[in-house]
Structure 1
Amino acid sequence: MRLGVFFLVLILIFLLIIRNIYIVKEGEYKVVRQFGEVVRIDSTPGLKFKFPFIQSVTTLPKYQMTYDVSEAEINTKDKKRMLIDNYSVWRIEDPKKMISNARTVEKAESKMEEFIYSVVRSELGQLNYDEIINDEKSSRGSVNDRVTELVNEMLSKDNYGIVVTDVRMKRTDLPPENEQSVFKRMISERESKAQEYLSMGDAEKNRIVAETDRQVKEIISKAQADAQVIRAQGEGEAARVYNQSFSKDADFYNLYRTLESYKKTINGETVIVLPSDSPYANLLMGGQ
């Protein structure tokens, strides 16, 4: 009987020990509370033991976490409204401070979101709208770093025991009521740019046409000048041949010139009055 009781007591003690042993894993904190107060925080991996009945254990993440910050509306330096959607990467650095001041992970995230919104609104309020949305003009990278730095200063000042590794903008949008006006402005800008390209094209076309016309005129002028020279040379050669030919028979030349003059002066309606001793009359009358 005594032996049975002894073994029963051993079993109860073993179960009690087993139920109060806990394991600390990589990437987590184990928070040990006694009557609701934090008495110990275990961060090194291994088997740990808590006092039965009076102590409890909860777990907090030790690894980096991502938090999707709620979308918020801000005003830019040039008085334009826009919607900003951020996310943050953060971790718990001091679980005891986090529990003491924020109590839970959810409340720590809520406080971090509040600080992020405050800093983002302040920092982007110093930039113009185009500087925020235009990648070529944007200083967004430096703004993200600045926001991260300022948020950590605020969290450290209030002893929240958490650290923000990074804050990034994942999306920037216009409020729905402003989208249409911006779209119209973008369309207008692109139409203006297209018109500029068309004007440049027309100017280049006119330049090419003018240059081509100039070259054509030069070619035609040169061809006409060459033709005049060739024609003059041909007429000179023809005159020389005529002179050589006609000088061999003066009577034939006179006859030829007379017949040529007939072609120019006589037609079907021509009336000619000639003296009887005229060479024309002599030829028409069959004289020699």
Structure 2
Amino acid sequence: MSNNNFDGDLEKFIKSLFASKNKKDKNVVDIKDAKVIKEKNKKPFDGRKFAKSAIVLTALFAVIVIILANIYIVKENEYRVVRQFGEVVKYENEPGINFKVPFIQSVTTLPKNLMTYDMTEEEINTLDKKRIIIDNYAVWRVTDPKALISNAGNLVNAESRMEEYIYSVIRTELGQLNYDDIINDENSSRGSINDKVTERVNELLTDGNFGIEVVDVRIRRTDLPEENEQSVYTRMISERESIAQKYLSEGDAEKNRIEAQTDRKVQELIATAKKEAALIRAEGESEAAKIYNREFSKDPEFYSLYRTLESYKKTIDDDTMIILPSDSPYAKILSGYLE
């Protein structure tokens, strides 16, 4: 069974085909007409209004850029110096946000904290005509940025002027001292030299109004020129050996003096002891004699016997031959006859 609406009728099919084509053409015509009407109703482009908006936005953007470009921030460890046509008009040292006049003012940054400046080595002459090389450094800071910019121009010029003053003062101070006084650690006057140099340099910087202050100047190292080192070392060794020999001689002299004093004290002590011993011995013998006399007086016969026996100690030894008569006291005693 056929599924179309024409049921084999060719005429109906052709009519319907052309009717569909005419409908499509009509729709296309309607769309074209709508576009034409819309284009007729559209307003013409206004170029002046667009240019005005662009100018306003550009001006606003330029104002923002100018404002941001002329804002400067002051930090805690720095100065911000404002200059107008090259002249310093003010400087800021308190932290915060500030604004400068556009186009005619500029801002320069200077450090506020302490700075260390290592100076180049210089050769100077001492009072005893010795040449030495001095190496030192300085600790300094900016105290008046306006004076620094006005009289020195920048930090490099300020450091150069400071270095010139420092070496001038050091040359003057060390030129009044002998070489040995400078290098001798036991009698060094560097501490006072450093203080004098610092004080004098600050006076010169103040007179010149450079807006900086030297906090401390320190001599880090003193060296000899290479051509003078060996001769000076040889002389120093000779001097040290002479000083050592002097100390040794003084030590030997002190030793001999102490030994002599000790020997004299020993002899005095021995003599005093002997004297005291003799006195004590004499007193003892005197007391013993008194005791002997008192006891022997009680029995004269015993005393006679005691004296006889004591004489035997001195007259008889192992090699003694005694020939005695039978009635002598010795013979009687030796034979045991006591009556």
TM-score (norm 2): 0.60
Matching of residue 20 in structure 1 with residue 70 in structure 2: yes
> What is residue 275 of structure 1 aligned with on the other side?
none
3-state SS, counterpart of residue 169 of structure 1: strand
Pick the aligned partner of 1:121 from 171, 176, 185. 171
> What is residue 162 of structure 1 aligned with on the other side?
211
Give the 3 Å change call, closer, same or farther, for CA 86–167 of structure 1 in structure 2: farther
Pick the aligned partner of 1:219 from 239, 260, 273. 273
Q: Please give the alpha-carbon distance, in whole angstroms, between the structure 2 residues aligned to 1:236 and 1:9.
A: 145
Alignment of 1:53-132 (within 5 A): 56-95=106-145, 98-99=148-149, 102-129=152-179, 131-132=181-182
1:21–1:50 CA contact under 8 A, matched in 2:
no
2:148–2:211 CA contact under 8 A, matched in 1:
yes
Q: Give the Å deviation of 1:146.
A: 3.8
Aligned length: 276
1:21–1:47 CA contact under 8 A, matched in 2:
yes
Pick the aligned partner of 1:280 from 325, 332, 339. 325
User: What per-residue deviation string (whole Å, max 9, x for no partner) do you get for residues 146-175 of structure 1?
Assistant: 433443454456x46233334433435352
User: What per-residue deviation string (whole Å, max 9, x for no partner) do you get for residues 88-132 of structure 1?
Assistant: 333345545544554431232122112211111112211334554
> What is residue 220 of structure 2 aligned with on the other side?
171
User: What per-residue deviation string (whole Å, max 9, x for no partner) do you get for residues 176-203 of structure 1?
Assistant: 7245644664575466447646654664
3-state SS, counterpart of residue 299 of structure 2: helix
Give the 3 Å change call, closer, same or farther, for CA 132–263 of structure 1 in structure 2: closer
Q: Please give the alpha-carbon distance, in whole angstroms, between the structure 2 residues aligned to 1:42 and 1:258.
A: 128
Q: Please give the alpha-carbon distance, in whole angstroms, between the structure 2 residues aligned to 1:147 and 1:140.
A: 10
Give the 3 Å change call, closer, same or farther, for CA 162–205 of structure 1 in structure 2: farther
3-state SS, counterpart of residue 70 of structure 1: coil
Q: Give the Å deviation of 1:133.
A: 5.4
**Higher Rg of the two aligned structures:** 2
1:82–1:172 CA contact under 8 A, matched in 2:
no
Gaps of 5+ in 1: 273-278
1:27–1:63 CA contact under 8 A, matched in 2:
yes
Paired letter, 2:125? N
Give the 3 Å change call, closer, same or farther, for CA 63–75 of structure 1 in structure 2: same
Instruction: Percent identity, please.
Output: 36
Q: Please give the alpha-carbon distance, in whole angstroms, between the structure 1 residues aligned to 2:74 and 2:100.
A: 10
Matching of residue 3 in structure 1 with residue 29 in structure 2: no
Gaps of 5+ in 2: 1-49
Give the 3 Å change call, closer, same or farther, for CA 132–57 of structure 1 in structure 2: same
Give the 3 Å change call, closer, same or farther, for CA 267–88 of structure 1 in structure 2: closer
User: What per-residue deviation string (whole Å, max 9, x for no partner) do you get for residues 236-257 of structure 1?
Assistant: 54356456534589xxx59x85
Paired letter, 1:79? K
1:34–1:56 CA contact under 8 A, matched in 2:
yes
1:90–1:162 CA contact under 8 A, matched in 2:
no
Q: Please give the alpha-carbon distance, in whole angstroms, between the structure 1 residues aligned to 2:317 and 2:73.
A: 138
> What is residue 92 of structure 2 aligned with on the other side?
43
Paired letter, 1:219? A
State the structure with bigger RCO (CA 8 A, min sep 6), 1 or 2: 1
Alignment of 1:200-215 (within 5 A): 200=254, 203-204=257-258, 206-215=260-269
2:80–2:93 CA contact under 8 A, matched in 1:
no
3-state SS, counterpart of residue 164 of structure 1: strand
Give the 3 Å change call, closer, same or farther, for CA 8–183 of structure 1 in structure 2: farther
Q: Please give the alpha-carbon distance, in whole angstroms, between the structure 1 residues aligned to 2:317 and 2:147.
A: 132
Q: Which moved more, 1:132-141 or 1:209-218?
A: 132-141
> What is residue 41 of structure 2 aligned with on the other side?
none
2:88–2:146 CA contact under 8 A, matched in 1:
no
Q: Please give the alpha-carbon distance, in whole angstroms, between the structure 1 residues aligned to 2:313 and 2:191.
A: 103
Q: Give the Å deviation of 1:219.
A: 1.9
Paired letter, 1:164? E
